[in-house]
Structure 1
Amino acid sequence: MILELADLQIQPGRQAEFDAAIEHGLRTVISKAKGFSGAKVQKGIESPERYLLMIQWATLENHTVDFRESPAFGEWRAIVGPFFARPPVVEHFGLLTTVE
C-alpha cells in the first residue's frame, strides 16, 4: 500500500467552494481510478487555506502512471485546480509501522 500525501494551498476565502469541489472530485474521479483504495482530506485549523489530501494506492504506479497519465487526471485538475494558490506538493510514503 502506498500513501500519496498532497499538501494543498488554496486561494483565501474559497474554502467552502473548495470543500465541495474536492469531495466531488474524489467521489466522481479519483475513487474510480485503478488501484485506488481510500482517501482522506484534513483541513488546516491555524491555516484554513491549507489542506492535506491523503490517497491510498495499491502501487506507486497506480498513481504515477495509471492515474497521472490518464484522461481522469485532467478531469481531476479541472475540478480542483482553479482553487490552488500554488502548485501542490506531492510525495509518496510506504508504511513503516502501526500502533493502535
Structure 2
Amino acid sequence: MILEVAILNVKKVLSEDFENNFKKAENIISSMNGYISHQLKKCLEQEDKYILLVNWETIDDHEIGFRKSDEYQEWKSLLHHFYEPFPTVEHYK
C-alpha cells in the first residue's frame, strides 16, 4: 500500500468553497482503480490549510491510473484553482 500525502494551502477566504467542491471530487477519486481510502483534514493553526491523505494499492494507480485519466481532468477543474501555491505531493510506503 502507498500513502499519498499532499499539503493543500487554499487561497484566503475560499475554504468553504473548496470543501464543497471536495465533497464532489471525493466521489471521483474513490471510484478509481487501486484507490483504498482517503482523509482530508483541516489544520487547526492555519485556517486555510489542509492535509490530504490517500491510500493507493500502488504508486502507478495514483501516478498513471488516476493522473492520466479523464476523471482526473474533472478533479483538476473542481480543485486546482483553489491552491496557492500548488501542492507538492509525496508518496510513502
Instruction: Give the TM-score band, short-chain normalised.
Output: over 0.9
Q: Which residues in structure 2 correspond to 1:6-25 (within 5 Å)?
A: 6-25=6-25
Partner residue, 1:90: 89
TM-score of the aligned structures, taking structure 1 as reference length: 0.89
- Structure 1: where are the runs of 5+ without partners? 95-100
Per the TM alignment, residue 71 of structure 1 is displaced from its structure 2 partner at its CA by: 1.1
Equivalences, count: 93
Distance 2:10 2:36 in 1: 25
Structure (1 or 2) with the larger CA radius of gyration: 1
Deviation of the 1:43 alpha carbon: 0.4
| Counterpart amino acid of residue 16 in structure 2 | A
Separation in structure 2 between the aligned mates of residue 40 and residue 21 of structure 1, nearest angstrom? 15
Counterparts of 2:57 and 2:23, CA distance in 1:
21
Percent pairwise identity: 29
Which residue in the other structure is 1:71 paired with?
A: 70
Give the RMSD, CA atoms, in angstroms.
Answer: 0.8
Instruction: Give CA deviations for 1:23-54 in whole Å, capped at 9, x if unaligned.
Output: 21012x10111100110001011111111000
Determine the structure 2 residue equivalent to 1:98: none
